[in-house]
Amino acid sequence: MSNAKTIAASEAHPSGLFLLFFVEMWERFSFYGMRALLTFYLIKGFLKADDARAYAIYGAYGALVYATPYLGGIFADRYLGARLAVIWGGVLMAAGHLLMSIETEWALFGALGLLIVGNGFFKPNISTMVGTLYPAGSSKRDAGFTIFYMGINLGAALAPLVCGYIGETYGWHYGFGLATVGMLTGLATFVAPRGLARGLILLASIVIVATMFWFSRGDATQTLLNLPIALALLGAGLVSFVKLGHGGLPDGTGAPRDAKGNVVKPRMVLPIFAGTIAAVAPIALLVSHHHYATWMLNIVGVIAFGSIILTAIRSDKVVRDRLTVVLVLCFFSMLFWAFFEQAGSSVNNFTDRNVDRVTGGTAVTAGQTYSDVVVTQEFLGVDVDGKVWTLTDIEVAQKAQAEGKPEGRVTFVADEEDAKRGLVVGGNEVKASVFQAANPTFILLFGPVFSWLWGALGRRDPSAGVKFGLGLLQLAGGFACFWMGAQSADSNGMVAMEWLLLGYLLQTTGELCLSPVGLSLVTKLSPAAIGSTIMGAWFLATAFSHLVAAAIAGMTGVSEGGEGAAVPPPLETVNVYGNVFGGIAIAAAASAVVLFAISPWLKARMHLSDAEAAGHGAH
């Protein structure tokens, strides 16, 4: 009986995994909470940027936020250790989210600078810490990454439902303020003693669920959307509370180590911290002058990938082949994310401007008077009593609604044109940022299914190269749905939300074939001494993808002419978006074909055992 218990314990996931699950979940809550609002804030907030400038700033921010993990990985490997790097990164990111609530240009770019630098320390090192919880060759490692990946996406799903909804409805500073609270909660959970951390996990889960339903009260659609994610959060909180009762992070987890693997004290702490703070202002300047960011990233890319190539050349055949595979898949990962990251820019604006987001309601009848009607997206482009409603008019009215002011409601007599158009009153409008919860919600639903599928296939489990190809092919299908939605738009240029959701679903299944596969693969193929550095390089490829994504998004720019430029009516914009999305679908499908062709070559150079090779599922 004792032997059976020992075996069961050895096969259980380490308790520390559930702590890191919640630390990462809250960090992703804060990160994606800000991301859900950023493009809208740049265009509709105090900056009043046109599409071109907003996309450029968003692209520069996204590029730099994924470039800094390369340096953060080096500092952790050589000087700080992963644990101290995660703490320092969390402090910087919390400060950045807080600064976003101040509506001035210096605060905006300073906040983005803090987030960029903080993410560089946080992102690669918490992923690396997950890998160190498992011994080499552990059959549980991949399943552990699956659980960790669920934490990432639970936070990403919560963010638009809470930060996005509240920020769009009640004011930008409320959304950014909640992102700050999320980051501080994750940081406190990480540094607190185990007993206190358990309580924080459970209490914070209950508080955020209460917040979700308090602010969405009276909005039946939003309440329904909140319910499954709220239940998932409460369930995860309860499981983690129980698991952490059996132990926490092992001593020495995330500590710096010497070449022999022995724990050593952190070095160069104060100089690195001081240098980090000094770097915030120059990085903020790079974001505000985005063309300089492109030059800087190109230089960093040459140095980073050049050093990996040099390491590969100097290494033995197995290490050289494995690093070659990492570099090739880095390129295709960059393509995938360049297309996928339209979600935060062009797809976000497409959702705001061209997707019919109103559910329920009653179609008007010609000649009937409608009193005290709540203004929704249904009024976009409609002539009501001599006033043609623009996106700005609707947003002003909706802010007044949230503040309880009478300007948020209108009284009008419906005419024949209103009835013919199918104008609806009394419906519930889903905020555009809320749709960014679709992707992570689908991951939570289908991630376990994909993990089971790869396991069920056994030796027939596709190689990493084939899965990357499947990911790009499904991504192509998602953008094809956006294109078909634009082609089938109604006479006002509005697209049924079903097309948007179907597109997000296919993008998600594509992501499940690629993103977690990449994370797990990097930890397996990287030499232990430079694990965080290679993980940082993996994220650096994503940095380049944001620059490409910004260029692609720029082709959809419809708000031009400087600050405060007007957005054309939906009928004039729907095909601008549709044509670009169709082009993305073709490019992604072509990339998938190339990957399918070279996948046998990649598999041969991984030098993994059959058991290891079969583990590249959704992690």
> DSSP letters of 431-471?
PGGGGGGHHHHHHHHHHHHHHHHHHHHGGGPPPHHHHHHHH
Q: Tell which residue, 521, 432, 370, 336, has the closest CA to residue 43.
A: 432
Cβ proximity of 373 and 365 under 8 Å: no
Dist CA 196 CA 188 (whole Å): 9
3-state secondary structure of 362: strand
Q: What residue type is 292 in one-letter code?
A: Y
What distance in Å separates the CA atoms of residue 286 and residue 64, rounded to the nearest whole number?
9
Helical ranges in 15-50 per DSSP H: 16-44
For residue 45, CA distances in Å to 38, 255, 418, 431, 566 come to 9, 42, 31, 16, 14
- Judge residue 210's burial from the number of C-beta atoms within 10 Å of its C-beta, 0-12 exposed, 13-18 middle, 19 or more buried: exposed
Give the relative orientation of helices 105-132 and 531-554 as an angle to the nearest 10 degrees: 140
User: Based on the number of CB atoms within 10 Å of its own CB, is 597 exposed (0-12), middle (13-18) or buried (19 or more)?
Assistant: exposed
Supply the pTM of this predicted model. Answer: 0.87
CA end-to-end distance (rounded Å), the chain: 32
Helices and strands (H, E) in the chain, number of each type: 22, 10
Residues 117 and 128: their CA atoms lie apart, in Å, by 18
Q: Are 428 and 219 within 8 A, CB to CB?
A: yes
DSSP 45: S
Beta bridge partners of 384: 387
DSSP 527: -
Instruction: Give the residue carrying structure tokens 């001081």.
Output: 274
388-418 per-position pLDDT tens digit: 888 888 888 888 887 778 777 888 888 888 8
Give the number of other Cβ atoms within 10 Å of residue 68's Cβ: 28
- Which residues, 6 or more positions from 537, have their beta carbon under 8 angstroms from its beta carbon? 70, 73, 304, 305, 308, 326, 330
pLDDT of residue 560: 52
Backbone angles phi, psi at 382, to 5 degrees: -95, 140
Chain centroid offset of residue 386 CA: 42
Tell me how far apart the alpha carbons of residues 188 and 198 are, in angstroms, rounded to a whole number: 11
Residue 135 phi/psi, 5° resolution?
-70, 160
Please identify which residue in the block is written with the tokens 């910087």: 92
Q: Distance between CA atoms of 545 and 472, rounded to whole angstroms?
A: 14
51-75 and 290-314 helices, crossing angle to 10°: 30
User: Residue 452, Cα to own-chain centre: how many angstroms?
Assistant: 24
* Among 550, 553, 584, 554, residue whose Cα is nearest residue 65: 550
Taking residue 574's Cβ as centre, other Cβ atoms within 10 Å add up to 24
- Structural domains in the chain plus CATH codes: 13-353+432-613 (1.20.1250.20), 360-429 (no CATH)
Q: Distance between CA atoms of 42 and 396, rounded to whole angstroms?
A: 16
Q: Which own/partner contact pairs does 86-89 have at CB distance under 8 Å and 24+ positions apart?
A: 86/23, 86/121, 86/122, 86/125, 86/126, 86/129, 86/190, 86/254, 87/187, 87/190, 87/191, 88/118, 88/121, 88/273, 88/276, 89/117, 89/118, 89/119, 89/120, 89/121, 89/122, 89/123, 89/125
Per-residue model confidence (pLDDT) at position 1: 42
DSSP string, 289-337: THHHHHHHHHHHHHHHHHHHHHHHHHS-HHHHHHHHHHHHHHHHHHHHH
Distance of CA 258 to the CA centre of its chain: 34
Residue 303 burial by Cβ neighbours in a 10 Å radius (0-12, 13-18, 19+): exposed
CA neighbours closer than 13 Å in the CB half-sphere of residue 364 = 27
From CA 534, how far away is CA 328, in angstroms rounded? Answer: 13
pLDDT of residue 532: 66
Q: Give, as one character, the DSSP assignment of residue 566.
A: P
Task: Write the DSSP string, 363-383.
Answer: E--TT-EEEEEEP-GGGTT-E
pLDDT (0 to 100) of residue 565: 57
Cβ-contact 59, 116 below 8 angstroms: no
pLDDT along the chain (619 residues), means of 10: 42 85 94 91 89 91 86 88 94 94 92 95 87 78 80 94 92 91 94 92 95 87 92 94 89 80 85 95 92 83 84 85 89 94 93 92 89 87 79 85 81 86 86 94 88 77 89 98 96 92 96 82 77 75 89 84 66 94 97 94 80 43
Largest Cα–Cα distance in the chain?
84
Distance in angstroms (rounded) separating the CA atoms of residues 572 and 260: 64
60 phi and psi angles, rounded to 5 deg: -65, -40
